[in-house]
Amino acid sequence: MILFRHHLNNPIRSLYRKPSKPLSSKTISPTGPIEEERSPQYNPRKYYPARIGETIGKFHIISKLGWGANSTAWLAKDTSRWPWQSPRYVTLKITNSGDGEKKAAEDEVKISQHISSLQSDHEGRAYVRLIQDSFQIQGIHRDSHICLVFEPLREPLWLLGRHLGSNGVLPQVLKAFLRVILCGLDFLHSECHIIHTDLKADNFLVGFEDTTVLKDYVRQQELHPAPHVLRNGRPVFESRSDFGPLKRGVGLLRISDFSAAVFGNVTTLHNHDIQPQPFCAPEVLLKAGWSYSADIWNLGTVLWELLADETLFNGLNHGRDGDQRRGYSPEVHIAQMIRLLGPPPSQFLDRCDPCIRDELFSPQGSFRFPELIQSEEFNFSNMTPFLQGEDQRLFIDFVRRMLRWEPVRRSSAKDLYNDPWLSYKP
């Protein structure tokens, strides 16, 4: 935190990379695209061609942890430490070049600076992953890339479930983690006045349960570096994000990735597109204006992915009744909501964008596509086969507090923290 505070009032610094040594990892020749090459909008000029063994600023790259549409993530070692100090490892996120990617990174830095500057003893502060440092480097095409430095964490919560031997996170394990998530979310909402807007399973990250896990991983990567493919002289490395089986217990969970976060203490509701489609709140889909409660809806829908690797509202059109359109459909998405929650109240529809609303609802508020509403078998009980009896009933009550048409009727993170389902032990 001291390192981060040192740069609070500084612009993003420009650093230069040291010339890379020859690649020591194995070159592979796959028949198709790998890693970030599989991104639908892949542009090799936008990705910084980082190499294992390269030193960027003071960070020596050890392995690639993953990639996204707008960045790559690497495990790196801080070379500024003295020999007698214990090694410091970081996650280095190298953003793509481009105005949009640069703005998103700069916005994330501002969010982290705001959170870090707050004087608060809220417990949830410990459950938020902040940027520790940031700087800028120049790519091979003279384009700039912003680098964000984070504390390294073990894995997303959904992967922890698999390491514990389950297809999803076991309910009793998830209940403990949900208290952490809700505590962190209450800190963000009530004290930081920040709306996360992207609470997907990948953004709940669990820390290392033992310091030897990271040390063993580093040793293995140094002995056996990940292979890479060369495309016109540009290396693309395979990701090594699996830190192996749990040694003992589990680490601390943190809410991560504030690249799409916004401030909630504004005079008018936000109304731009946010959230992955399956987790999209109705006020986002229908453009009725959204605020903190969009995060609550988001969390309620993501529970199915965490518990059973399933999607509650997938919005998928399977071409029923002669309809040849397939894939995601907003009409199907709304129909699924209506089946589980009943029709939206007229007061809610009155606030929706007229162009979108009138395509889906009549002037009287009737849904124009009743044939898309699934049978009564699509209900909360049938959608929760991973729970039984009283545990299932309490869970459904818990979810109903989050999944409501009217944003103002959803419970807050603080209120949900003490929900009976979280303390129930079957």
Chain mean pLDDT for the chain: 91
Does the pLDDT value for residue 303 go beyond 90? yes
pLDDT at 274: 97
Does the pLDDT value for residue 9 go beyond 80? no
Lookup result for tokens 């790519």: 139
User: How many residues are listed for the chain in this entry?
Assistant: 426
pLDDT at 29: 72
12: confidence class by pLDDT, cuts 50, 70, 90: low
pLDDT at 166: 76
87: confidence class by pLDDT, cuts 50, 70, 90: very high
Among the ranges given (111-115, 167-171, 262-266, 286-290), the one the predictor scored with the smallest mean pLDDT: 167-171
Does the pLDDT value for residue 172 go beyond 90? yes
pLDDT at 4: 36
Distance, in Å, from the CA atom of 409 to the CA atom of 406, rounded to the nearest integer, reads 5
Among the ranges given (57-66, 73-82, 123-132, 316-325), the one the predictor scored with the smallest mean pLDDT: 316-325
Does the pLDDT value for residue 15 go beyond 60? no
pLDDT at 32: 86
Q: Which of 230, 225, 244, 305 is nearest to 53 (CA)?
A: 225
pLDDT in tens, 119-149: 999 999 999 999 999 999 998 888 899 999 9
Residues 6+ apart with CB under 8 A from 93: 71, 72, 73, 74, 147, 148, 149, 150
pLDDT at 199: 96
Does the pLDDT value for residue 320 go beyond 90? no
Distance, in Å, from the CA atom of 158 to the CA atom of 58, rounded to the nearest integer, reads 32
pLDDT at 13: 58
CB 205 within 8 A of CB 157: yes
Phi/psi of residue 61, nearest 5 degrees: -75, 130
327: confidence class by pLDDT, cuts 50, 70, 90: confident
pLDDT in tens, 177-216: 999 999 999 999 999 999 999 999 999 999 999 999 999 9
Percent of the chain clearing pLDDT 70 (strictly above): 92
CA distances from residue 156 to 66, 129, 206, 212 in whole angstroms, order as listed = 12, 13, 6, 19
Percent of the chain clearing pLDDT 90 (strictly above): 80
pLDDT at 36: 93
CA distances from residue 422 to 120, 262, 319, 398 in whole angstroms, order as listed = 26, 29, 39, 9
Average pLDDT over residues 22-49: 83
pLDDT in tens, 379-423: 999 999 999 999 999 999 999 999 999 999 999 999 999 999 999
281: confidence class by pLDDT, cuts 50, 70, 90: very high
pLDDT at 64: 97
Distance, in Å, from the CA atom of 203 to the CA atom of 254, rounded to the nearest integer, reads 8
